[in-house]
Amino acid sequence: MSHEFDIAVIGAGPAGQIAAIAMARGGRKVVLVGPAPDGSDRRTTALMDQSLAMMERLGLWQELRGRTAPLQVMQIIDGTNRLLRAPTVAFRSAEIGLEAFGYNIPNSALLETLSKAVAAEPLITRNTSAADTIHIGTDGVTIGLSGGELVEAAFAIGADGRRSNTRESAGVGVKTWSYPQTAVVMNFAHTLPHQNISTEFHTESGPFTQVPLPGQRSSLVWVVAPPEAERLTSLSAEQLSAEVETRMQSMLGKVSVDDGVQAWPLSGMTAKRYGKGRAAFVGEAGHAFPPIGAQGLNLSLRDIAALEDILIDGGSAPIAADSGDRFDRKRRLDIASRTASVDLLNRSLLSDLLPVQMLRAAGLQVLASLGPLRNLVMQEGVAPGRGLKSLPSLLRKKVGR
């Protein structure tokens, strides 16, 4: 059966726009459905080495590069008042032969670059209506748009966020869980240079993570209990600047927080399947977790790379009816392991249990002192599988010392 489009991408957030561009670059005729993001997102996204290689391959990195800052050192400081405190651990990208682990990109710059690239791509038809009804059949997909139009495609990529209509229409359930935490997000100027160092303070309420931006500026994700988030977001810019500076022990000098502080309540979600028949669910339509270790969109880019293998590698051949099932099998391990490790790290910060604190402190102590293991963790952080591949040579180096 022939369709007007090979692929309908539903949702025009970062995951949906990148998916549409990747599929079009692979020669597929794409319709990208969904309202344009409203430009209010003040977050920044740290994209790691492997994700940047993909952005570069899709021609998206060159324009963005000047609006981003490299992450060359990532340090973790135990900022808790607990009995057992972990040592400070610093990871340097040069230790694994990289100029930077990744780059920190303001979401506003990312979304601007993506929508320009979408508009310039001849194989993408852009429709800013919402998808009201989605029928996923054995021969194709039919989407009823909010404007009343019908769109037909051979395959649907659901990139329509946590409450994905695509996923629900495919009859796929989710497992959800909540955290007693809210991420307070802001950007700030400081009087001392950050030297491309990102510092994550681990606190009893969650991580407080400063990430470099170009110049003497940084972004901050401060994870706190919901009532504390309310208090922080109601402070004046001067009061909040003083609190940030105190929490950072003035390591970046005087802090001046920008207007527009935002609060993002945290929760976790994973779809019971990541694809089924003629549909796949990417980005937060498939998985969502707290912003620890910059994993969310990086994981979504690996979803999209897996779809490139399944939907493009066959050239212009018709899209197979079981492509969603193949995607599901291909993505299970990576998504499950990232979701579990972020959850474990977050819960270990929240837990007051002494054995949990001992394990966390001991884990960081091992990372601080054991070069090969630290190296492995760094490699896995930038590209899953990369560390394990180099494990034999890392061990040989250690034994040879």
Residues in the site for ligand FAD, rule: CB under 6 A? Answer: 10-16, 33-35, 37, 43, 45-46, 130-131, 159-161, 165, 183, 185, 221, 264, 283-284, 291, 294-298, 300
Residue 87 Cβ vs ligand FAD, minimum distance, rounded to whole Å: 25
- Nearest to ligand FAD of 11, 206 (CB atom): 11
- Nearest to ligand FAD of 131, 367 (CB atom): 131
Residue 34 Cβ vs ligand FAD, minimum distance, rounded to whole Å: 3
- 219 - beta bridge partners? 187, 211
Q: Per residue in 242-252, is it b (16+ CB within 10 Å) or e — as a string?
A: eebbebbeeeb
> What are 183's two structure tokens?
């991420």
Distance of CA 88 to the CA centre of its chain: 25
Residue 259 Cβ vs ligand FAD, minimum distance, rounded to whole Å: 18
Which helix (DSSP H) or strand (DSSP E) does residue 314 occupy? none
Residue 19 Cβ vs ligand FAD, minimum distance, rounded to whole Å: 9
CA distances from 349 to 79, 346, 360 (A): 10, 5, 8
Residue 301 Cβ vs ligand FAD, minimum distance, rounded to whole Å: 8
Distance CA 315, CA 112 (A): 30
- Nearest to ligand FAD of 88, 262 (CB atom): 262
- Nearest to ligand FAD of 38, 352 (CB atom): 38
> What are 217's two structure tokens?
């500026």
> What are 102's two structure tokens?
């990744």
- Nearest to ligand FAD of 187, 300 (CB atom): 300
User: DSSP strand E in 3-114: where?
Assistant: 5-10, 30-33, 44-48, 69-71, 73-78, 89-92, 102-106
Which helix (DSSP H) or strand (DSSP E) does residue 101 occupy? none
Residue 181 Cβ vs ligand FAD, minimum distance, rounded to whole Å: 11
> What are 20's two structure tokens?
């549409």
Residue 183 Cβ vs ligand FAD, minimum distance, rounded to whole Å: 4
- Nearest to ligand FAD of 20, 361 (CB atom): 20
- Nearest to ligand FAD of 342, 361 (CB atom): 342
Quick one: DSSP state of residue 385?
T
Task: Give me the count of residues in the chain.
Answer: 401
Angle formed at CA 38 by CA 71 and CA 292, multiple of 5 degrees = 35
Residue 26 Cβ vs ligand FAD, minimum distance, rounded to whole Å: 19
- Nearest to ligand FAD of 194, 361 (CB atom): 194
